[in-house]
Structure 1
Amino acid sequence: MSNSLFSIENLTISFENEKKKIIAVNDVSFDIGKSEIVGLVGESGCGKTVTSLGIIGLLPNSANINSGKIHYNGKDILNIKEDEKRKIRGKEISMIFQEPMTSLNPLWKCGNQIGEAIKLHNKIDKKDLKSRVLKIIKNVGLPNPETIYSKYPHELSGGQRQRVMIGIAIANHPDLIIADEPTTALDVTIQSQILELLKKINEEEKSSILFISHDLGVINDIADRVIVMYAGFIVEIASRGDLYSEPKHPYTLKLLQSIPLPEKKGKELESIPGIVPRIESHIDYCPFVDRCSIAKEICREKLPLLEEKSDKHFARCHLT
């Protein structure tokens, strides 16, 4: 992509103990354009969150980055010093976590938490800091900014807490926001409001967004382009329109068929039999083969490559 802001190249991340090794992210490559919203979708355990934690440098100690590069601003940010990573994290690349109650400090007022994100990366006096925080609170759609400023997280609703998390994420006008399932715990109405807020931020701030979800229905409401992950592998990449109208991978097709739609009322939704495999070493077969209804012998004999099947539409499948 010519206007690429950020790119991942052949990233592999594993978790290992004395007994076994699990490859959570397997040779993953993709880019994100300037001001682009990219959806990253797949079942729980497919490697979405591990990928995002690898990007922002918050992987647990048990994780190993076995190979790969993450390019941002002309640097491979996997190979820079920790103090340089801290300067980027929260300022140029920020993250919205799935559950605000476990991400926000229960002992700090919400305004102070947004303010702390600003102070970490800027020299600013108290008066200007509070003014900036109040403006952020207003911009994320929270009523009565002065009141919200002085509230503790437990005094807010789930949707309000998520807006505070978004306020922290946008506090320093980042180039890239990683949103990890930010609507999962919210009801449908609040979910829609949060999606509209993120689209507004994308439009006004020109921040790129990597939006992570297990729900293709939600991804359809926000993403310009979609990446589908399965068992640590990327299995499909396409524009939103192409992916929803002409999916090239059997897994993507099954995910789309499982979305509840009004026209499907009274009909049984599609399901995918079996479970996502745990990949413990290099494989020479398709990871979806045991759950695929159209699998052929070649699928058991050779790992398919992620190839361009039509214009800017990539899939990891022998049969398309």
Structure 2
Amino acid sequence: MKAENSTNNEFILLGFNFKQNIQLFLFFIFFMIYVSTITGNTIIITVIWKSSKLHSPMYFFLANFAFMEIGYTSVTMPKMLTNLAFGDKRISVSGCITQLYFFFVLGGIENYLLAVMAYDRYLAICNPLRYSTIMSNRLCHQLALMSWLSSIASSFISIYLLSKLSFCGKNKIDNFFCDASPIFNLSCTDTSLLKSYFFSLVWIVVFSCLSFIILSYINIILAVLKIPSNSGRRKVFSTCGCHFTVVILYYGSVISMYVRPHHEYTFVFDKCLSVFYAIITPFLNPIIYSFRNKNIREAILLITLIRLK
């Protein structure tokens, strides 16, 4: 009974429970994904910074998005890679809560930036004559700053309350990073109010941003349908294609993970879904933006040619 009530100072991230050779194989795969994610997003930021052709609101927000993705994937993957390589699955309670805080801060920023990018495309397509006047440099910086500060502030209260919880008895988290639900389940104090607040906040952020994005795209589609030529329609849709693809990937996985009854799926399913939205999606985003965006492809080629000369 005393052992059951003793306070835990650390958690055990079970991660991927496979044989050593399989874990080393997974380490190699995930390490290459991590390096590719960091490299791809760094290239996007560098190209946008160095190419004067890309000094526009759309690419300013894309650079913010790429920077956020570097932080988002770096919150979880280094610890996961360490676990796979060395088998040290321990993480302190404070380290676990810190990881969770930054994971949700950056996740919130992703929601806000996707909404801001949708608003930018809406203005560019539906109000082209007033676009440069409305979407000024000052407004761009204000929207980006609000996206970062809003997420930092809104996540702080729930994480502060979470840090006041006591943890005793079981200390194993069946995932490769510290997620909210397992931490709530491991607490030996009542978490019902905090859990309601935490997931209500997730619902509000996710669905308010998603609703805004959907509304923006409805207006964009209506405006595009009024364009008489097919080539004009394709040109307009091509400017939104990358953003729309990222929106589908991100919200499809996040809603499946956090906005559904948690008793419907197993821990194995949740772990696979976590891999998709925490690792695979950030890996795919720079690929989507670089290969499907003609201006970025041309800027990368131009900078490469200049360096070779």
Higher relative contact order (CA 8 A, sep 6+): 2
TM-score computed with the length of structure 2 as normaliser: 0.23
TM-score computed with the length of structure 1 as normaliser: 0.23
Greater strand proportion: 1
Greater helix proportion: 2
Rg comparison, structure with higher value: 2
